[in-house]
Amino acid sequence: MGSSGENIETPLLLPLHLPDNKIPKDSFNLIYITYFILGVSCLLPWNTFITAIDYFSHIYPHTHINRIFSVVYMPVVVSALLSVVFFGRRCDVRIRINLGLGLYVFSLLLMPLLEVFYIRGRVGLFNGFYVSIGAVVLCAVGQALVQSGVVGSAGELPKRYMQAAVSGFAGSGYVTEDVSSKILKDWYPITLITAYYVLDLIGKSLASIYVMKSPKITMGLCIGRVVFYPLFVGCLHGPKFLRTEIPVIILTCFLGLTNGYLTAVAMISAPKLVSFEHAEVAGILMAMSLVLGVAIGSVLAWFWVI
């Protein structure tokens, strides 16, 4: 029997730092592949909505539907992630992920059913517009549930699984319609989007090879990415040699590459800087901070004037 003066600590289910030779073997990289697929699922529904933006713009003209979707979607994701931090951790990770995937399926099926049975190609039916916004909200809640479960659980595992999850994200934004090309025409925005997503994926994959150890350097490089803003402004309104396709494509590639690598490094490192029992919360807070930045950018897009 121990006395009241003894310092008794409850042992953790897993040690804080597993030696490399004690990490369970991932046969055929099945766990790694699973986390990559789950990472893809986090943003796939949102990318589906913004990919169909031409359809929504045709059905609901004069609504700035792309910005409305962003302003509605991102704050809902942030609010839902914040709710998970305070209340949702009582719910099993598997339940959160499966519930979120169920909301994904429902919200994505709702749109084609709405078109077939109600809209039928007609323009300006704003009852359908409100249903579409509701589907976006459900999709946002689904992302919060899935992303919190995936990132939170990956934060408790070795670094490579967080890298797999964030590689699955493969991009968190899109290029606006403020640029144009007489040569590439309609293929110009498609080229920029593809370049951004491919380099973003490459950047996140590079984190599987090398992860920077210094949080200060990582933070400094993240802040340093502000330099892209004046560079893109120069491509829009600067000297003639900058107002061509090649500088914009090169800048977009570097934007995607740095976004991918630094996002992966931050997401991988943060859960490892705290004790094991706080790793899940750290991962969720990182995901929430990432989405919060996108949400702020979406709101500021309403005031975008250059």
35 pLDDT higher than 80? yes
201 pLDDT higher than 60? yes
| Dist CA 253 CA 255 (whole Å) | 5
Residue 8 binned pLDDT confidence (cut-offs 50, 70, 90): very low
SS3 content of the chain, % helix, strand, coil (to 5): 75, 0, 25
**CA distances from residue 274 to 13, 55, 156, 160 in whole angstroms, order as listed:** 16, 45, 10, 17
Mean pLDDT of 213-224: 91
Whether 165 contacts 154, CB under 8 Å: yes
1 pLDDT higher than 70? no
Q: What is the pLDDT of residues 145-199, one digit of tens each?
A: 998 889 888 888 888 888 888 887 764 344 334 455 667 666 777 788 888 888 9
99 pLDDT higher than 80? yes
pLDDT at 300: 74
pLDDT at 139: 93
Highest mean pLDDT of the ranges 151-160, 229-238, 249-258? 249-258
Q: What is the pLDDT of residues 12-21, one digit of tens each?
A: 434 444 455 5
Percent of the chain with pLDDT over 90: 20
Mean pLDDT of 284-297: 82
pLDDT at 11: 42
Least confident of 24-38, 119-133, 159-173: 159-173
Q: DSSP class of residue 172?
A: S
The answer for residues whose C-beta is within 8 angstroms of residue 264's C-beta and 6 or more apart is 162, 163, 166, 167, 203, 204, 206, 207, 211
57 pLDDT higher than 90? no
| Dist CA 293 CA 252 (whole Å) | 19
Residue 7 binned pLDDT confidence (cut-offs 50, 70, 90): very low
Residue 89 binned pLDDT confidence (cut-offs 50, 70, 90): low
Mean pLDDT of 34-57: 84
Whether 78 contacts 137, CB under 8 Å: no
143 pLDDT higher than 70? yes
304 pLDDT higher than 60? no
Mean pLDDT of 265-270: 90
**CA distances from residue 256 to 34, 53, 166 in whole angstroms, order as listed:** 24, 22, 13
pLDDT at 302: 64
Mean pLDDT of 92-117: 91
Mean pLDDT of the chain: 81
pLDDT at 141: 94
pLDDT at 5: 44
pLDDT at 306: 45
pLDDT at 131: 92
Percent of the chain with pLDDT over 70: 84
Whether 263 contacts 209, CB under 8 Å: no
